[in-house]
Amino acid sequence: MKLAMVGGGGFRTPLVYSALLHDHAPGRVTEVALVDVDSDRLATMARILEDEAAGAADAPRVSIHTDLAEGIRGADFVFSAIRVGGLEGRALDERIGQSHGVIGQETVGFGGISFALRTLPVVMDLARTVRRVAPEAWVINFTNPAGIVTEAMSQVLGDRVIGICDSPIGLARRALGALGLGDCADVDVRYAGLNHLGWVTQLRVDGRDVLPELLARPDLIESFEEGRLFGAEWIQALGALPNEYLHYFNYQRDVLQADQYASSTRGRYLVDQQSSFWDRAARSGHPLEDWHVCRHEREVTYMATNRESAGMGDRDEADIVSGGYENVALALMRGIAHDQMARLILNVRNRGTLVGLDDEAVVEVPCIVDSAGAHPIPGAELPDFGQGLVTTVKYVERQTIEAGVNGSRTAALRALAHHPLIDSVRVARSLLEDAQVSFPTDLSHLR
């Protein structure tokens, strides 16, 4: 089986490759094509993966490509994990947002919209190239903002594009861990929302919902990351577990304040951290070791400003070590390729699952995966307080897609001005103007 990784020169590629190395079952991936616009990173990445594969007789063969069509030809699966505008673009989005007094973040609010606007033309091209060159392939989308990007690509690829995020399963895993139920096999996580905007509403273990037991125990709630971030009292008031990205909505003012005192934005920090990593790794005799060190540091500092604003201290080592995303990706791939039924939380078209959203709206909900793809499991339900927010943000996503795919500047303005984290049409207008000045080429489609 062939896997093509678009954005394969990206930092998280070794996570996926390591999951593949652990898969020895028949029908596993035997060929990995890394596709990237940056040939230097591709060369370094190939050396990192070579280090990872040392001693594994059945390691998937790795090839590198700067030509997209060449790389994805014959692929059974295409992973998309690209970052249009790079980390510099991310840092710029954050700075523009903050300079107008709104949240500056990669996927939320202004930053998410700006990031989507420059990403959408590129991923639509990618979708069309997949349809032309590898029409049988399934696309697994990690490219952020994952919900928006998946919905736009589904215009071309239908249900053959599926979006992934590690945060819902991470949340569920941490909550179950707090209850000492981390090892249970029969777990049915009820989760509903959009990407980076959802809630765990039930945690069913052996058919019984154990979430009320967690909600009754402030000590247990504050024993894991999201519990500490939002505070036991608020989680008890919600009666559900919010995705960590809801922190920007629930504690907007506090994050804005913490941002003012932060020494740099996340994006700016990563620009420096990652560029020195790539320099070092290119010259290093053991690039995989450099990667491990850098990855640990990246995970330790994840969402540091939010944690600081909540006064919650360091992350748990368990959260730093065990990622989720590569395992979700692997389970999804095996589920489809080998009809190995899996239950995963994914970004797929709604098809009547969440009330109040149309069938084509991409939502993040539990799905059953089999050889025919990912099917949302009926019964996912938004909490009452989440319905209005999800409807509004879906509207914003749709306007963003209209802007990014069809070039409507007015739609971009509608998206920005209606976003709950942007509090004035005047501010929305200035944000858009600044974005167009900062990204003249990537946003040239907006008219």
Q: Which strands, in side-by-side order, build the sheet including 61-65?
A: 61-65, 31-35, 2-6, 77-80, 138-141, 161-163, 342-349, 362-370, 373-376
By the rule CB under 5 A, 367 interacts with Mn ion: no
Q: Between 124 and 328, whose beta carbon lies closer to ligand G6P?
A: 328
Number of residues that bind ligand G6P (CB under 6 A): 8
- Distances in Å between the Cα of 86 and the Cα atoms of 9, 48, 202, 348, 427 are 12, 21, 37, 26, 25
Closest CB 264 distance from ligand G6P, rounded Å: 12
Helix or strand (DSSP H, E) at 36: none
Per-residue DSSP letter, 160: G
The interface region with Mn ion, picked from 113-121, 157-165, 366-374, 399-407 by CB under 5 A, is: 157-165
CA–CA distance, 99 with 314 (Å, rounded to integer): 28
Binding mask 379-398 for ligand G6P (x = CB under 6 A): --------------------
The interface region with ligand G6P, picked from 162-170, 229-237, 257-265, 399-407 by CB under 6 A, is: 162-170
Among 165, 205, 363, 374, binds Mn ion (CB under 5 A): 165
Q: Which option in ligand G6P, Mn ion, none does residue 298 bind, with CB closer than 5 to 8 A by kind?
A: ligand G6P
By the rule CB under 6 A, 167 interacts with ligand G6P: yes
By the rule CB under 6 A, 266 interacts with ligand G6P: yes
Output the six-digit token pair for 209.
């919902």
CA torsion angle 419 421 425 431 (round to 10): -100
Closest CB 243 distance from Mn ion, rounded Å: 9
By the rule CB under 6 A, 415 interacts with ligand G6P: no
- Distances in Å between the Cα of 72 and the Cα atoms of 4, 35, 210, 293, 434 are 5, 8, 44, 31, 36
Q: Between 45 and 165, whose beta carbon lies closer to Mn ion?
A: 165
Question: Which residue type does 412 have?
Answer: A
Closest CB 5 distance from ligand G6P, rounded Å: 16
Interface of this chain with ligand G6P, residues 137 to 156, rule: CB under 6 A: 144
Helix ranges, 231-359 (H): 232-238, 247-250, 252-261, 266-283, 287-300, 304-309, 317-321, 325-338
By the rule CB under 6 A, 174 interacts with ligand G6P: no
What does the radius of gyration of the chain's CA atoms come to, in whole angstroms? 21
Q: Which residues bind Mn ion (CB under 5 A)?
A: 165
The residues binding ligand G6P (CB under 6 A) are: 144, 165-167, 266, 270, 298, 302
